[in-house]
Structure 1
Amino acid sequence: MSEGGFSFDLRKRNDMLASKGLKPPSLLKTGTTVVGLIFQDGVILGADGEGPNIVADKKCEKIHYMAPNIYCCGDKDTEAVTDMVSSQLELHRYDIGRESRVVTALTLLKSHLLSSYQGRHDVSDAALVLGGVDVTGPHLHTVYLDGSTDSTLPFATMGSGSLAAMAIFESKYRQGLTRDEGVKLVAGIFNLLGSRSNVDICVITKGKQEYLRNYLLPNPPTYDVSENFSKEAPKAAKSTNLYSLGHRMILENAIDDI
């Protein structure tokens, strides 16, 4: 056994099994795509539900709550970061008595990522699409691991499928998209091969948020699990009453009709 670093003992075992005719399983390759765009009434965010290579979860929630008017799509190791910023935004709202601004959330994310990780991919790997609507209008930003950001964008894509998604957004996006047109364009990430799982969508407008969980599913359920169980109530239930008579305890069983 090696004293430190990586151990490659299992590779020798796998080579031995392969030489004896055992067919190794195929590698699990998954990807992540998070996108956003600005439409005529606000911001639409979208994310696939494909989990990472280690935890094969096809229904991950990658659209994170930041504030009532701000949400954030997270790729890679982002849930702890967005939870931290969300709590700071809530304390800030209590202090100022007004709704949070998107630029405040953006500044907190930049500061935390730059001071904590400094772009080190061996510590964390984060890619964020931040969107929201405040008193100054709709805003959409991308945030990278090193804390660098883009200014307000008409549309944004991040993740392993970002290049393919960007090609579609550049050809299909136009100013003044309606809600239905924007949702349809964002839901197109369902067709990416590395991210082909369910699609979640969040529509943010002035004073209203709409979270569409599992907007698209590759194999939606065709049955109702509740139909396999009887809905009839039992006719009687057994109850236990405990009485105290001096130094003696009497346990009585009774049948109560429902």
Structure 2
Amino acid sequence: MGLKMPSFRKTGTTIVGVTTRDCVILAADTRATSDTIVMEKNCEKIHYIGKYMHCCGAGTAADTMQVTRMVSANVSLQAFKFPDEMVPVVFAARSLRQYLFKYMGYVSAALILGGIDDNGSHLYSIYPHGSIDKLPYISMGSGSMAAISELESRWNENLTEEEGMKLACDAILAGVFNDLGSGSNVDLCIIKRDGTRMLRNYLTPNKKPATSKYIYPAGLTKVLAKSEIKFQITEETVMEVDA
């Protein structure tokens, strides 16, 4: 019979990275799935790497968390070694690429790394097999086809911070409403030279009330027949219970 390899399990996510005139914007949905089951509705997919670096992760949650934590530790050591310099974003990108290439795709982590250093703004897409691209805008995950259509039609190099945030949110929403593996809320991370802002649940397009309302008014259902049944009490027994 031999060894039967486990079957491929599809994961769902939409993550986006956008560069603007003076910042880098990362965005992600918050739905975690296992095959066709929604496991968590508000998980975090934007991971801390350094003071001026963050990373979006798509794929297996455990793999993306472990890889980003490892590289974050390396970036912290580099910052401790050279306290007067900003850690180059390419240092983290190279660390991620080399680690993933070594495992030949068995570490299921598709990543978007964004950050700012002394050389400007940087945005990298890093694939599970170790390939890497540097692009002005990126989308990855199962909802990336819908998201990239928004990015390609509206991105330009003179975007302001507000326009970049709107574009990133619209790209994530395109994935949320066109991909079953993506959903729930939208998280944003704005990386600038003067600091980083993490906006958790920036948009909640799928917010639902705790209880649903009965939308049909009373009296719409027609009574077709009515019958009464009368009961006659033949015996009555009373039981007393001590308090």
TM-score (norm 1): 0.70
1:137 is aligned to 2:120: yes
In 1, Cα distance between equivalents of 2:127 and 2:206 = 33
In 1, Cα distance between equivalents of 2:127 and 2:80 = 29
Task: Select which of 83, 90, 109 maps to 1:103.
Answer: 90
The aligned amino acid for 1:92 is Q
State the partner residue of 1:255. none
After superposition, the C-alpha distances for 1:88-147 in whole angstroms (9 at most, x for unaligned) are 1101111122221100000110111112x112xxx3211100000111100001000111
In 1, Cα distance between equivalents of 2:73 and 2:28 = 22
Q: Tell me, yes or no, if the aligned pair for 2:146 and 2:174 is still in contact at 8 Å.
A: no
State the partner residue of 1:243. none
More relative contact order in 1 or in 2 (CA 8 Å, sep 6+)?
A: 2
1:78-157 counterparts in 2 under 5 A?
78-97=64-83, 98-115=85-102, 117-119=103-105, 123-151=106-134, 153-157=135-139
What is the identity percentage for the equivalent residue pairs of Structure 1 and Structure 2?
Answer: 43
In 2, Cα distance between equivalents of 1:219 and 1:146 = 34
State the partner residue of 2:49. 66
1:169 is aligned to 2:156: no
The aligned amino acid for 2:79 is R
Superposed structure 1 runs of 4+ greater than 6 Å apart: none
State the partner residue of 1:45. 26
1:182 is aligned to 2:164: yes
After alignment, is 93-102 or 41-50 more displaced?
93-102
Unaligned runs of 5+ in 1: 8-28, 224-258
In 2, Cα distance between equivalents of 1:217 and 1:159 = 20
Q: Tell me, yes or no, if the aligned pair for 2:100 and 2:107 is still in contact at 8 Å.
A: no
CA RMSD in angstroms, aligned pairs only: 2.2
Task: Select which of 194, 198, 204 maps to 1:211.
Answer: 198
Q: Tell me, yes or no, if the aligned pair for 2:17 and 2:168 is still in contact at 8 Å.
A: yes
In 1, Cα distance between equivalents of 2:48 and 2:5 = 38
Q: What SS does the aligned partner of 1:214 have?
A: strand
Q: Tell me, yes or no, if the aligned pair for 1:190 and 1:216 is still in contact at 8 Å.
A: no
User: Given the superposition, is the C-alpha separation of residues 148 and 6 from structure 1 closer, same or farther in structure 2, using an over 3 Å criterion?
Assistant: closer
The aligned amino acid for 1:35 is V
Structure 1 position 191, deviation (Å): 3.4
1:181-200 counterparts in 2 under 5 A?
181-188=163-170, 189-192=172-175, 193-194=178-179, 195-200=182-187
In 1, Cα distance between equivalents of 2:74 and 2:154 = 37
Unaligned runs of 5+ in 2: 211-243
User: Given the superposition, is the C-alpha separation of residues 86 and 30 from structure 1 closer, same or farther in structure 2, using an over 3 Å criterion?
Assistant: closer
Structure 1 position 219, deviation (Å): 4.3
State the partner residue of 2:236. none
The aligned amino acid for 1:100 is V
After superposition, the C-alpha distances for 1:140-189 in whole angstroms (9 at most, x for unaligned) are 010001111012x1101111111211111110111211111111111111
State the partner residue of 1:240. none
Q: Tell me, yes or no, if the aligned pair for 1:33 and 1:158 is still in contact at 8 Å.
A: yes
Matched residue count: 196
The aligned amino acid for 2:161 is R
